[in-house]
Amino acid sequence: MRRPVAVILAAGKGTRMGSDLAKVLHRVAGAPMVHYPIQAARDAGVEDVVVVVGHQAAAVEEAVRDAFPRARFAEQREQRGTGHAVLCALPELSGESGPVLILSGDVPLLRASTLRRLIDAAAASSAGLALATFEPAEVVGYGRILREGGRPVGIREERDASPE
């Protein structure tokens, strides 16, 4: 299997947090929040990491480089949603890349074992996509994965989604 790559989405402002500090720079247990998904990816055996930066890009890059000097960066100049952030990372991905893990930079409780299972599921499937999702008790604050017959067919940002 070709080497997996992690794309960490860390460009957003975190407006709902009510802070001027980029959301991924808020500290959790002494480290910037963005460190946790990067470390989980590394612990899952993913060495190649691309961080998509935008809001306070220089500060986010500095915080990441301090702990992960081999990380690479892509810039999302305008915050136009998750899909656009992923597109901004494409130039940093080589044709030699294996599975691509797309991770939010604001998920500090992500486990390496979860990522490893996701990588393994992608490798074992001919689907071309493995997607880890959850169904929250309250849908407020989350985008939606749209499904037909249990298969993902799209993503809706919260502002564009219905309560169902």
Write the CA distances from 65 to 49, 50, 81, 88, integer angstroms.
11, 11, 24, 19
pLDDT at site 38: 98
Catalytic residue among 16, 65, 147, 151: 16
Are 100 and 149 members of one domain? no
Are 69 and 122 members of one domain? yes
pLDDT at site 134: 79
Are 121 and 161 members of one domain? no
Are 104 and 144 members of one domain? no
Lowest mean pLDDT among 36-40, 94-98, 120-124, 144-148: 94-98
Alpha helices per DSSP H over the chain? 35-43, 57-67, 82-89, 112-124
Interval 68-96 mean pLDDT:
91
Measured at the alpha carbon of residue 37, what is the angle toward residues 34 and 100, in degrees to the nearest 5?
Answer: 120
- Taking all residues of the chain, what is their mean pLDDT, rounded to a whole number? 88
Are 87 and 20 members of one domain? yes
> Among this protein's residues, is 159 annotated catalytic?
no
Are 42 and 123 members of one domain? yes
Domain span holding position 70 = 5-127
Looking at the structure of the chain, the number of domains it has is 2
Interval 123-129 mean pLDDT:
75
